[in-house]
Amino acid sequence: MSGHSKWSKIKRKKQANDQDRGKIFSKLSRLITLAVIQGGGITDPDGNVKLRLAVEKARQLNMPKENVKRAIDRGTGPQKQQLTEVVYEAFACGGAALIILATTDNHNRTLTEIKNVLERNGGKLGNKGTVAYLFDRCGLVTFNKKQANEENILEFMSRISALDFDQDSQYYYVYIPFEFLGRVKNSLGKLVAEAVEIDYKPKASVAISDKEQARILTLIELLDELDDVHNVFANFDVVGQS
């Protein structure tokens, strides 16, 4: 089975070490509101998969319940916030491809901000379809190795019709069909998932140098700092590293 891209592993470490809780909570709030809007106003996480994923992530990061409730409320009623999700496709140095997910109430503002960051840091915005075909949109379920064993993971994979499997020194990663995200909870058995999220899995990785990696990571950091951007996916591996 195919391996995790270099960026996937770096990204997980970055999220674990990110200290800007205020910015994280702000982005989570927007994702929660967006999930309610996209779910047709459904505010019950059990009936709205995207909302459940967003709320579970908020809980994992100790986001206050009051913040979660306010975010849900902003997605309903006559005064509901007007948010949409936009997917941008881009290229970084070394031929690496980027998928940039943004939550916005002003498409022109968001597009301008993303384009400026890309152009100032060796990247380039692509047209629709120029990058998306290099990724598979799917679900990603992450398990901590201290709380799971391979036998249980394999059983879970069978129950959920997993697409792929990978691991590193700390985690098992199980990729599942996007449409099966709602089945994860009832398919875990004795397992406890550390994270369940939407993922854009590279179909193949681009080999880049250490110097190119540094430039790409700087670019991604700057994209992440934009208020409207809530996730960035990349498809690179560093030459000489696994």
E strands, 171-210, in order: 171-177, 195-202, 206-208
Q: Quick one: tokens of 73?
A: 């409320």
CATH of the domain at 175: 3.30.70.980
Whether residues 198 and 228 fall in one domain? no
Domain of 20 in residue numbering reads as 6-73
- Name which of 21, 51, 49 is nearest 33 in CA terms: 51
Whether residues 123 and 210 fall in one domain? yes
* Residue 206 reports pLDDT greater than 80: yes
Whether residues 184 and 217 fall in one domain? no
The average confidence (pLDDT) of the chain is 89
Domains: count for the chain: 3
**CA–CA separation, 134 vs 98, rounded Å?**
10
Whether residues 168 and 221 fall in one domain? no
What is this structure's pTM?
A: 0.88
**CA–CA separation, 178 vs 146, rounded Å?**
26
pLDDT for res 7:
52
The reply to whether 120 falls in a domain is: yes
Whether residues 141 and 24 fall in one domain? no
Identify residue 87 by its one-letter amino acid code: V
**CA–CA separation, 133 vs 146, rounded Å?**
35
pLDDT for res 238:
67
Sheet holding 164-167, edge to edge: 164-167, 171-177, 135-144, 195-202
Residue-wise pLDDT tens digits, 139-192? 999 999 999 999 999 999 999 999 999 888 889 999 999 999 999 999 999 899
Residue-wise pLDDT tens digits, 80-99? 889 999 999 999 999 999 99
Whether residues 224 and 107 fall in one domain? yes
Residue-wise pLDDT tens digits, 20-42? 777 889 999 999 999 999 999 99
Q: How many residues does the chain have?
A: 242
Q: Quick one: tokens of 242?
A: 């696994």
